[in-house]
């Protein structure tokens, strides 16, 4: 592909010589540096929470199930940092165990929602036509049902247990992801870069995995991370209604519910687990916000 002499326009000379590198906009490095800072915060926060959930039980000073002292000891007394409950069990130990359950339950539901919903959304969005129509009608029917209310009925029917709770919430949670992924894929599919890839001779598989999915990924990650907080709250609500693990298990929602009657005498017994849920949800919401900011900048 040699160039005939008359065709060398002045334009090309720009890239010859030492200044060629200089002409590539420098914004990339700057953007990465600035854009990644919130992502860094988000990652650390999520790592700390996961660490707490993994190592929490190991840090617990007492057994979560066996009484360790006097009942209704206020926080900070007799070695009970968060006080003790109605039969003298250590609130702190129970809360640490509860955090583990809460956190991993939320992650499990999110993961299943992202996988199932993401797959349906991706297939619907990338295929289009009647496949899209059928899959999305199916998804919409699920979305039109009052998910949280339905979840209560599902666990009530299957019988209260943590596993059933996860199934029930999983059933009502995925359509949301199917919608998001499908919407994201559709909007990407409308961009000319997909048509250009098709004309370039890229295969269907390559278009789906290389030209489509990476574009939808950021939105999925952000949505999922912003959703962790919601799920922690939803699961806690079901647990509060007595739909989680049965009695002695240290589940945060159930701990608050079973000690409602002690509120005015020993406020810490129902409040401490509720506060733990709040902190967990708050931290994951902040992490989600950071993650969203990090992607907005790039």
DSSP letter string, 168-217: HHHHHHHHHHHHHHHHHHHHHHTSHHHHHHHHHT--HHHIIIIIIHHHHH
Q: Which is nearer to other proteins, 79 or 193 (CB)?
A: 193
Q: Which is nearer to other proteins, 116 or 241 (CB)?
A: 241
Shortest reach from residue 187's CB to other proteins, in Å:
12
Answer yes or no whether residue 18 interacts with other proteins by CB under 8 A.
Answer: no
The window from 19-27, 44-52, 80-88, 90-98 that contacts other proteins (CB under 8 A) reads 19-27
The window from 62-70, 77-85, 111-119, 142-150 that contacts other proteins (CB under 8 A) reads 142-150
- Report the site for other proteins in 194-223 (rule: CB under 8 A): 195-202, 206, 210-211, 214-215
In the shown chain, the binding pattern of residues 172 to 191 toward other proteins, with x for contact by CB under 8 A and - for none, equals -------------------x
Answer yes or no whether residue 233 interacts with other proteins by CB under 8 A.
Answer: yes
Figure out which of the listed residues 73, 93, 225, 285 binds other proteins, where binding follows CB under 8 A: 285
Answer yes or no whether residue 104 interacts with other proteins by CB under 8 A.
Answer: no
Burial class (CB in 10 A: 0-12, 13-18, 19+), 226: middle
Figure out which of the listed residues 159, 187, 204, 248 binds other proteins, where binding follows CB under 8 A: 159
Shortest reach from residue 28's CB to other proteins, in Å:
5
Shortest reach from residue 120's CB to other proteins, in Å:
17
Q: Which is nearer to other proteins, 120 or 216 (CB)?
A: 216
Burial class (CB in 10 A: 0-12, 13-18, 19+), 183: middle
- Please report, to the nearest 10 degrees, the dihedral formed by the alpha carbons of residues 237, 283, 269, 70 taken in order: 140
DSSP letter string, 52-112: HHHHHHHH-SS-SSS--S-TTPPTTBTTBTT-B-TTS-BHHHHHHHHHHHHHHHHHHHHHH
Q: Give the C-alpha separation, 94 to 248, whole Å.
A: 10
């Amino acid at each position: 592909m040699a160039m005939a002499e008359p065709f060398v326009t002045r334009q090309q000379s720009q890239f010859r010589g030492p200044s060629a590198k200089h002409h590539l906009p420098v914004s990339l490095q700057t953007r990465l540096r600035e854009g990644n800072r919130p992502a860094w915060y988000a990652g650390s926060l999520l790592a700390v929470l996961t660490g707490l959930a993994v190592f929490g039980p190991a840090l617990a000073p007492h057994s979560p199930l066996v009484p360790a002292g006097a009942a209704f000891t206020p926080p900070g007394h007799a070695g009970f940092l968060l006080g003790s409950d109605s039969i003298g069990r250590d609130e702190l130990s129970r809360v640490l165990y509860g955090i583990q359950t809460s956190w991993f339950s939320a992650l499990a539901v999110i993961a299943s929602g992202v996988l199932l919903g993401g797959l349906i959304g991706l297939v619907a969005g990338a295929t289009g036509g009647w496949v899209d129509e059928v899959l999305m009608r199916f998804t919409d029917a699920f979305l039109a049902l009052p998910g949280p209310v339905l979840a209560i009925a599902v666990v009530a029917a299957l019988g209260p247990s943590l596993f059933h709770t996860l199934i029930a919430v999983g059933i009502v949670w995925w359509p949301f992801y199917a919608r998001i992924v499908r919407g994201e894929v559709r909007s990407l599919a409308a961009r000319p870069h997909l048509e250009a890839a098709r004309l370039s001779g890229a295969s269907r598989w390559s278009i789906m995995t290389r030209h489509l999915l990476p574009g939808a990924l950021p939105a999925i990650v952000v949505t999922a991370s912003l959703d962790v907080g919601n799920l922690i709250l939803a699961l806690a609500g079901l647990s509060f209604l007595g739909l989680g693990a049965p009695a002695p298990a240290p589940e945060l929602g159930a701990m608050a519910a079973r000690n409602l009657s002690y509120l005015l005498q020993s406020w810490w017994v129902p409040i401490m687990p509720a506060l733990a849920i709040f902190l967990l949800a708050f931290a994951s919401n902040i992490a989600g916000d950071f993650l969203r900011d990090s992607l907005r900048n790039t």
